[in-house]
A = this chain, B = another copy of it.
Amino acid sequence: MVLRYFVQLSYKGTHYHGWQIQPNAISVQEVLNKAFSTILRQKTELTGAGRTDTGVHASFFVAHFDTNEPIADIEKIFFSLNNLLPFDIALQKIYEVDENMHARFSAKEREYQYFIINEKNPFRLETSYYLHRKLNVDAMNAASQILFEYSDFTSFSKLHTDVQTNICTIYKAFWSSKGSELIFTISADRFLRNMVRAIVGSLVDVGLGKSDEKHFREIIESKNRSNAGFSVPARGLFLTNVIY
């Protein structure tokens, strides 16, 4: 019998080389696999809802793992795991799901937020991009709406990845502000590698007056990554939701 559990968690990505296990670098997945294997006393591997790049954070992330026998006291396991895990990874919930549910393949929508701060803030060094420039938010918002007209985002994907298709359906894309903080919210059925940071960089160019709606549209239509704007730093990016 195989039992499947979903884990809802958050992590500060600053000290990790992203979610995905890789040789010679510490990843969130590796740290979780070790902790779960220790506490559950059997080799346990977590499958994540997606990958996040080096330095990217998740205020909401979902992963699944399988066991051969039911976990008797989930509450107890949950506390033991949170005690064992380092401060920058925190579990919010563990719950059993149908064995057909898959953290990655069953996810219908993923949401990211990107945080730009306009004033130096000692408390946000690792969780925002400090850009002390005047940005035209209306222009950035107008350009973001163009994203809804397209589904091939090759222009915003990292070159030479092994992904088979660059087609994504965008559900949300807008800028909002809170004090001296600017927040870009974007959700889609899936994201290409580096996509959010390249979109934000291209929209920041619009906000700075270096680019405009017409140029933003040309970037998308060109399907050429080298036309897109700079990639904004990973530290401002948060995975904020995964919907099943």
Contacts and interface: CB of A to CB of B under 8 A. Distances in A.
Contacts of A57: 122-123
Contact of A120 (B59, B82, B119, B121): B82
A202 interface: no
A27 interface: no
Interface stretch (A83-91, A137-145, A153-161, A187-195): A83-91
Interface in A206-244: none
Q: Most B CB atoms within 10 A — which of A59, A90, A122? A: A122
Contacts of A36: none
B92 A122 contact: no
B87 A125 contact: yes
Contacts of A59: 123
A62 to B, nearest CB: 16
A122 to B, nearest CB: 4
A122 B91 CA distance: 10
Contacts of A92: 119
A17 B116 CA distance: 30
A32 to B, nearest CB: 13
Contacts of A91: 120
A25 to B, nearest CB: 19
Nearest to A9: B122
Interface in A61-118: 82, 87-92
A123 B119 contact: no
A216 to B, nearest CB: 30
Contact of A88 (B12, B119, B125): B125
B120 A90 contact: yes
A82 B195 CA distance: 32
Given A87-B125, A88-B122, A90-B120, 19 more contacts: A10-B121, A10-B122, A10-B123, A11-B122, A12-B122, A12-B123, A57-B122, A57-B123, A59-B123, A82-B120, A87-B120, A87-B122, A88-B125, A89-B122, A90-B119, A90-B122, A91-B120, A92-B119, A123-B127
10 contacts: A10-B122, A10-B123, A12-B123, A57-B122, A57-B123, A87-B122, A88-B122, A89-B122, A90-B119, A92-B119
